[in-house]
Amino acid sequence: MDARTQTSFIAALLCFALAASVLLRTHRQRDRWLFGILAVNTGLWYVSAFMLGVVGRVPYWERFNLICGVLLPLSAVRFFGVLIPSETTLSRLLRRASAVAAVVLLGAMLTPFYDHAVVVGGLLLYVTVFLSLALGSLYKHGFRTDSRIEGARLRYIALVGGFGGLFTLIEYLPYAGVEIPPVGTILILIFLYALSQSITRYRLIDLYELSGRLGVLTVLAFLLAFMLWLMRLVSGEQLFLHVVVSAFVVLILFDPIRTKVQQSISQVFFHERFELEQTVLALRRSVTHILDLDELGRVLMEGLDVSPRFTQGALYLLGPDARAFLLKDHFGPKPPERVEMAPARPLLDRLAKAGTAVLENAERELEEKRAIGDDREAETAHDIAVTMRALQASVCLGLRGESDHLYGFLTVRDDRLRDAFSKEEVQLLAGLGNQVAVTVENSQLYLQLKERDRLAALGEMAAGLAHEIRNPLGSIKASAQYLSETSEQSDDRSEFLDIIVDEVDRLDRVVSSFLDYARPSQVNPVPIDVSAAVQLTLQLLRPECDSANVALHVTTDPDLPKVRIDIEHLRQVLINLVQNAVQAMIDGGEIYVETRTRDRMRPGDGPSRWVQISVRDTGPGIAPGLLPNLFVPFVTTKQQGTGLGLAISQRIVSEAGGRIDVRSRQGFGTTFVVSLPSESEPLDGLDTEPHRDHSLGSEGPSVRLEPVEP
């Protein structure tokens, strides 16, 4: 039994197995039935070839072999035709013409001239023409479909079928008297297997990986066969040493061959996916070492703009007020400059949890939820779809930091196709989003380090400057006091000397406060009872309030959780706030101090418990122009004030992981709210660093201009 006969028997078994593997699946669509017929037909063809090799040239088996050869292209034309969703005039004409040609050839097979050169030539022409037309129509339709994913799948099937058809023609050459090794049989089986996978796997990533593996295995198998054939040709016999040497050669060449073959297959079959991979890889490398956000936006948009897969894109980053995302850079049609958090909340929540949002998925989810009557989820999907349309985005990629907090998001779109990006491509883009998020986070840390270094240098310089100012102030004060006490002088001169002493004292207080603000504080944070600390501090302040005709009202919650903070620093904050309120109410008034707990929600997390101390006065309020700079050092409305009390208070609260909020309106009074995390809460969450607000380049407390409750 020669090699062709043995190969035909094995090929027949494998064809029947492929047909069974597809037909025995749960979903039996028409394309799977037609593939099963194609595989069975191919198997019968190899059965007849096997019988011809065993029993010789028997007319019965020769006719049966030729009949299977006629039916094989006919079943292939029907199989490839059914993959096109809508039948066209060309596909209908092709199907009918192939059936007529098959009937003519089958009639010729039943005559005594079945093996005549004209009949065999007609068979080869029939196979070549109709397989080429069927595959060409399928490949052309792959460029016409609205879906990029379906188009790539159809082109893949057409190319795989084209290779299979080419090697099928090789198998027809023995009919023309050309004897060749059974190479075509092996390749037909490989591509028949690839076809079976292409109709059972709709995920492009599966076909992508499958094509690469089959290509590598095919090349290595033929390399091994060629090595063995060459050694046998040289030595005249097959030795075990030849097998060992050939195996070593294959192992040595495995890695470079695998890389080259997979790259070539990617460029041929999945060139769009390959280009996208190269674009994303290049961008991830480019943004890795960027620390400037302006440069990040420029590099990112230029890299995406070069790719043919995108027609527009945009980068949004969290704004300084932490209430909206601002457009950093874009290419293509300009999207909205600002995305407010409130209307975009469903989309932002989806990005914080899942990392990606796809417009087509949101629209599909909307239809599905409406169909089953889930109005709540349908409304969420509707809001996501509306926001993405407003952003002109097909895909949104969240820039997530630790604990899934959003620093911003990246939008991309290809407006030429409906579903331009497959699920796997979206995940590929999500990797780029993660890299951009790391870059944004690193840029923030870099800016903070630069600011910290700048402030440290400024603090050292200021401390030295304060020391140099303090020394001459001491001399001026001592001299003025000496002259005031020892010299006989007029009342006018004495008054001027007293002014000098008073102003020196005021400058000394300013320098002392400045040093307190600039000098690193020595803290001793321990869990304390906030209500008890507030009661004790206000007892000391009550005489001062009474003398200023200010009524002090205190309401404390005895069940407050403990807060980890230095108790002296907390008292200093409370004294500053109460004294500011007293000094603001020149004609007297009322101050309300209250302690309470408040639960705050964290994105992607549960509620966290906070302790709040509010100080509300009935004074004139704060001017709107002063509010933005309220916590800036040396900004004050008092003639004798240093402008450092609130700055020091804000620093103390921030170091404890809390924040200070201000609500004020002229004529309605002012409320300061100090929020501190309870002892059980971590100090590194979104709400526990309010001085940063997780915005880009923003520091400071929250300031709001609104009426204060009476």
CATH match for 3-202 among 3.40.50.10540, 1.10.260.40, 1.20.1070.10, 3.40.250.10:
1.20.1070.10
| pLDDT(579) > 70 | yes
112: how many CB neighbours lie within 10 A of its CB? 7
510: pLDDT confidence band, cut at 50, 70 and 90?
A: low
pLDDT at position 708: 41
Give mean pLDDT, residues 151-176: 68
| pLDDT(704) > 70 | no
710: pLDDT confidence band, cut at 50, 70 and 90?
A: very low
CATH class for the region spanning 522-705? alpha beta
pLDDT at position 179: 59
pTM of the model: 0.46
Q: What proportion of the chain, given as a percentage, has pLDDT over 90? A: 12
671: how many CB neighbours lie within 10 A of its CB? 21
388: pLDDT confidence band, cut at 50, 70 and 90?
A: very high
589: pLDDT confidence band, cut at 50, 70 and 90?
A: very high
Q: From CA 337, how far away is CA 316, in angstroms rounded?
A: 9
Residue among 151, 144, 131 nearest 191 (CA): 131
pLDDT at position 467: 63
Residue among 263, 15, 66 nearest 171 (CA): 66
204: pLDDT confidence band, cut at 50, 70 and 90?
A: very low
Which residue would you say has higher pLDDT here, 100 or 476?
A: 100
Q: Is the dihedral of CA 56, 60, 65, 69 positive or negative?
A: positive
| pLDDT(688) > 80 | no
Q: Which two tokens stand for residue 289?
A: 């070492």
Q: From CA 247, how far away is CA 223, in angstroms rounded?
A: 10
Phi, psi for 610 (deg, rounded to 5): -130, 155
| pLDDT(405) > 70 | yes
Pairing label, strands 550-555, 589-601: parallel
Mean pLDDT lowest among 117-121, 171-175, 508-512? 171-175
695: pLDDT confidence band, cut at 50, 70 and 90?
A: very low
| pLDDT(314) > 90 | yes
Helices 30-55 & 3-23 angle (0-180, nearest 10): 160
pLDDT tens across 113-161, in order?
A: 777 778 878 887 888 888 888 888 887 877 777 666 667 667 777 777 7
294: how many CB neighbours lie within 10 A of its CB? 11
Which residue would you say has higher pLDDT here, 356 or 641?
A: 356
| pLDDT(700) > 50 | no
Domain edges within the chain: 3-202, 204-269, 291-440, 522-705
| pLDDT(432) > 80 | yes
Which residue would you say has higher pLDDT here, 697 or 617?
A: 617
Burial classification of residue 239, based on how many CB atoms lie within 10 Å of its CB (0-12 exposed, 13-18 middle, 19 or more buried):
exposed
pLDDT tens across 615-635, in order?
A: 999 988 888 778 777 777 666
Which residue would you say has higher pLDDT here, 157 or 579?
A: 579
Q: From CA 347, how far away is CA 315, in angstroms rounded?
A: 15
Q: Is the dihedral of CA 282, 286, 289, 291 positive or negative?
A: negative
Distances (CA, A) of 616 to 95, 571, 673: 86, 17, 8
- Which among 101-105, 134-138, 378-382, 420-424 has the top mean pLDDT? 378-382
Residue 159, helix vs strand vs coil = helix
pLDDT at position 596: 92
pLDDT at position 594: 94
Please name the residue that has the structure tokens 């002109």: 392
pLDDT tens across 483-498, in order?
A: 766 655 555 666 667 7
Q: Are 480 and 504 in contact, with CB atoms under 8 Å apart?
A: yes
Q: Average per-residue pLDDT in the chain?
A: 77
| pLDDT(397) > 80 | yes
314: how many CB neighbours lie within 10 A of its CB? 28
Indicate the CATH number for domain 291-440.
Answer: 3.30.450.40
End-to-end CA distance of the chain: 104
